[in-house]
A and B are shown apart, each in its own frame.
Chain A
Amino acid sequence: MKYDAIVIGGGHNGLVNGAYLAKSGLKTLILERRPMVGGAAITEELLPGYQFTTFSYAISLIRPDIVQDLQLVKHGMMVLPMSSTFQPGFDGEYLLLGADKDQNFHEVSRHSRQDAESYRDLSHLFDRVCFALKPLLDAIPPNAVSNRVEDIAHCQEVKDYLQNLPADVQGLIDRLWNGSAADILNDYFECELLKSNIASSAIIGSMISPSDKKSGIVWLLHKMGEYDGVFGDWGFHKGGNGGFTQVLARAAQAWGATVMTGHGVDHVIYDSGKVEGVVLENGQELRADIVVSALDPKRTFTQLVDAKDLPADLNQSITQFKFQGSASKVNFALNGLPKFPALNGRVDPFTGFVNVGPSMQYLEDAFADAKAGRFSRKPFIDCCVQSTVDPEMSPPGKHVMSCFVMYTPYHLTDGAWATEREKLGDTVENTLNEFFPGFHGLVEHREIVTPLDIENVTGLTEGNIFMGELFSEQMFLNRPAPGWNQYRTPISGYYQCGSGTHPGGCVMGGPGKLAARQVINDLAVPAGKN
């Protein structure tokens, strides 16, 4: 069987990529090693009636044009709004933000009248920054090392675009690109609960604290998602993020792609710098003129192909590419909703993100443990009780709670994850019990997913949830390597479309879409012109 295009990896980007390629008329095969599609965006029923979002658990950044282009609504896409953000503090203190701007003003005012006003100012400026950068997120980035006239012009075009933005927008972009979230937050706010709540977006999945100069860009990327056109708002896909990748698989198939699960790729075959197909783990050979890897840069350039066949500068970039997974998941089946004593009995604090990390110092301390090579003794925990919004996630009256836990370094100085994992589970449970007394009694089942588990199950190197850190030296012009940031590889016909390419991770689908665009562009141009 000969295909026009083979996509390696049935995660969200592989599915998006395959769907676009099929839509463009290419006979496309998507190969997934595991028995189910979805990669790190899967939902699993680990206990009868309880749906666990094993890894990825919320959605915001999925590019809006993908939803339209692939007609995802027709295939069941349904994102339910996460209507609150809850930041429990010590001694009954808390911050509970919701959908209403004026209510939020008064809620922040309880802590600081000035912060309440700054919150609006910063939100508005941030919205304008996101609006300004959105076109760059949705376009193939320029090649900054090429000497070709078109590439030089493309770089200049982007430079001009950025330089023509309003000064205040440019100012914040500069600070976010080069500076720390803490620095900006300290300029705007005094309330620790508010600062640490916002700072959570600046550290998620990254081996940095909010005071690290690399945190600004992590924050920026997370704010660029949208819900109903509102930047920074998130939602739960019906049935979890696994529900979303099921939608993508249906869409890809409807556009004509073949999706084969249980078929891992051993390596890519190529000759004289031109791709010829893939060899499956079972030894079977499949031919195609186009092969797209949705795997991370390390696997794309060192496992699927022989690094010896690649240029030295690319090899060096890939060797230096930082993964350093920092996050774990601890997912719970609960026999009731947690209770925060000061808001006893209320459901609304649990219908969005519940951020355990009540001060900037708390987050810094949590990071200090990770720097010392151990998981945080007082971890930052981003909790979601999706069953409060989506009744299909748990049996009636019961709940599922997804906990994203930081910091949990992939490399432990002492011990190994095999022996540390239950201790991590206990630490998370104990921390939650401090903020939500009686939490222990609610737990019916828990699932611990360490960075090592993430790597082993999904193939994300070192368990990095973004397929590589979102640091500025690994973004845009440099994702995953200077000159190789346009989805092509040195092997003609071999492309990359994972989150290790622009614009990055977070269930955006952008890499899958843009890589498909590049493939289609290249096919339209006579060979040799690229």
Chain B
Amino acid sequence: MPQTTPFHDRLIALNETGIWKHWSGYLVAPRYQYSETDEYYAIRNSVALLDTSPLFKYVIKGDDAKSFLEKVLSRDINECQVDQAQYTCWCNEEGFVLQDGVILHVAKNEYWLTAAEPTLRYFRQLAAAGAYLNLEIDDISEEYGILALQGPHAFDVLQALNIDAANLPYFGVARTHINGMPVVLSRTGFTGDLGYEIWTSTEDALSLWDVVMAAGRNYNITPMGTTALKMARVEAGLLLLDVDFSSARFAWVDAQRETPCELGWGWMFRKLAKDQRDFIGRDAIETQLKNKTQRWTTVGLEIDWHDYERVHVEAGIMPPKHGVYSESTMSIYRRGDVEWDYVGYATSFLYSSLLRRPIALAKLPLELAKSGTQVDLEIPVIKKPQNVLAHVARVPFFNPARKTSQFGKQ
């Protein structure tokens, strides 16, 4: 029997389609309405509400919490002050990524972490090996539910809930109350838009859902399923575990493993030379950065609109656009004299309704990873492989100012 999240009793009534899927063993709605496009546009045009409770949630606290996280996490936890959140990852000694996640510095010596896969025992083993005297690591997955409130009117909904989030900066964290219920609020999300995530105790979950939905009614708040989220995250250039990369932990060979640089996260190490952290994987990552030995990097691809039209129209069909989101691997070839000169692959593909063109996330060798570089992407056209022109592009593909803008100080 699948597990249910603390919000499930409300979600049942809202899921018009009756379709559910499993996320880490929990029932979640891929979409609530018949059109995922409507839910997608709620993220970009009004405000959407997503239950992200199936994420694993951990608390890491104690006087040694910071030094532990300094050791374990690849990105410098010292840059994450109290009331701040950080997108981070953790690697093995070879510098291969185990997982990514968002960590919230909720109080002095107390951090909350979300992860797609379990990591309690692994962290506790590291803690034990490191002899951290004052450190507690606990799994709080079942004690909390998380709602993601995402979209241009997310701030208005918080205001309607009498929360003063005006000064909450991008990736800021606040402990506050909604209708008397204690919550942890962070200005984070996986949509690349203005958005917040709200942690609530399991007991308060249904009441919280009700008050947020009521406060959002005037802004056309729309429950969003996981498909709309995935569509938005491609535009945001955000990678998904088991779609765009795999955890090194359960890989068989290094070909399945990837380093942060290979995932396009080199930006996490911009200040590496200045910090002396002895974190797991540091040597490997440093060597890779220095010698440029990464095998590939992860980039955005903008598929040429005219070419995408052409290959379909020549085959006698309309180009598929509506609700096109794919997680199947697509091969990429170098353009030139050699036919089918394989150089990499795309992992996520979306016809972006907003951007009005197909986009993808892809792995390419460094020499082809420069923005504007032309490659061929293989797509199926009436079941047959066909190459279309694509340009390497910077991610995020869509990056509205409201995502990071400050509301309080005008």
Contacts and interface: CB of A to CB of B under 8 A. Distances in A.
A81 B38 contact: yes
Interface stretch (B77-85, B191-199, B320-328): B320-328
A81 B354 contact: no
Contacts of A100: 34-35
Given A80-B45, A81-B37, A100-B35, A228 B351 contact: yes
B218 A391 contact: yes
Interface string B320-355: 111100000000000000000000000000010111
Interface in A358-402: 388-391, 396-397
Given A228-B321, A390-B45, A396-B219, A73 B38 contact: no
Nearest to B352: A73
Q: Which of A64, A65, A67, A228 has the most CB of B within 10 A?
A: A228
Given A80-B41, A103-B34, A391 B354 contact: no
B306 A227 contact: no
A127 B318 CA distance: 9
Interface in A96-129: 98-100, 103, 127
Contacts of B219: 391, 396
Contact of B46 (A68, A229, A231, A391): A391
Contacts of B354: 73, 78
A491 B32 CA distance: 59
Contacts of B306: 65, 68
A108 to B, nearest CB: 15
A131 interface: yes
B41 A229 contact: no
Interface string B230-249: 00000000000000000000
A21 to B, nearest CB: 21
A83 interface: yes
Interface in B26-56: 33-35, 37-38, 41, 44-46
B38 A83 contact: yes
Contact of A229 (B153, B156, B319): B319
Contacts of B353: 81, 228
Contacts of A78: 44-45, 354
Contacts of A228: 37, 321-323, 351, 353
Contacts of B46: 389-391
B220 A388 contact: yes
Contacts of B357: 68
A75 to B, nearest CB: 12
Contact of A81 (B35, B156, B317, B355): B35
A396 B219 CA distance: 7
A229 B35 contact: no
A426 to B, nearest CB: 30
A67 B356 contact: yes
Interface string B298-332: 00000001100100000001111111000000000
Given A78-B354, A99-B34, A229 B322 contact: yes
Interface footprint category on A: 20 to 34
Contacts of A73: 354-356
B320 A229 contact: yes
A322 interface: no
A47 interface: no
Contacts of B41: 80-81, 389
A230 B218 contact: no
Contacts of B318: 127, 131, 229, 231
B355 A99 contact: no
Q: Chain B interface secondary structure, helix, strand, loop or mixed?
A: loop
Contacts of A103: 34
A164 to B, nearest CB: 12
A425 B220 CA distance: 29
A91 to B, nearest CB: 26
Contacts of B305: 68
B38 A391 contact: no
A250 to B, nearest CB: 16
A446 interface: no
Nearest to B34: A100
A99 B41 CA distance: 14
A222 interface: no
A304 B322 CA distance: 44
A267 interface: no
B130 to A, nearest CB: 50
B156, B218, B317, most chain A CB atoms within 10 A: B218
B356 A229 contact: no
Contacts of A64: 309, 356
Contacts of B45: 78, 80, 238, 389-391
B159 to A, nearest CB: 11
Contacts of A391: 45-46, 153, 218-220
Interface string B97-139: 0000000000000000000000000000000000000000000
A390 B152 CA distance: 11
B158 to A, nearest CB: 14
A351 B217 CA distance: 15
Contact of B322 (A65, A230, A238): A230
A74 to B, nearest CB: 9
Contacts of B37: 81, 83, 99, 228
Nearest to B46: A391
Contacts of B35: 81, 83, 98-100
Nearest to A99: B35
Contacts of B38: 81, 83, 99, 351
Contacts of A396: 156, 218-219
A351 B156 CA distance: 22
Interface string A77-89: 1101101000000
B334 to A, nearest CB: 25
Which of B220, B306, B323 has the most CB atoms of chain A within a 10 A radius of its CB?
B220
B65 to A, nearest CB: 42
Nearest to A233: B322
Interface centre among A238, A388, A396 (most CB of B within 10 A): A396
A230 B323 CA distance: 11
Contacts of B322: 227-230
A73 B353 CA distance: 10
Nearest to A397: B218
A388 B38 CA distance: 12
A390 B355 CA distance: 18
A64 B321 CA distance: 12
A230 B351 CA distance: 13
Contacts of A65: 306
A230 B320 CA distance: 9
Contact of B34 (A98, A227, A229): A98
A327 B47 CA distance: 35
Contacts of B34: 83, 98-100, 103
Contacts of B321: 228-230
Given A83-B35, A100-B34, A390-B45, 19 more contacts: A64-B356, A65-B306, A78-B44, A78-B45, A78-B354, A81-B35, A81-B353, A83-B33, A98-B35, A99-B38, A228-B37, A228-B321, A228-B322, A229-B318, A229-B319, A238-B45, A389-B41, A391-B46, A396-B218
10 contacts: A81-B41, A83-B35, A83-B37, A99-B35, A131-B318, A227-B322, A229-B321, A238-B45, A351-B38, A397-B218
Which 5 residue pairs of A and B lie closest in terms of their CB atoms, listed nearest first? A396-B218, A229-B321, A99-B35, A100-B34, A228-B322
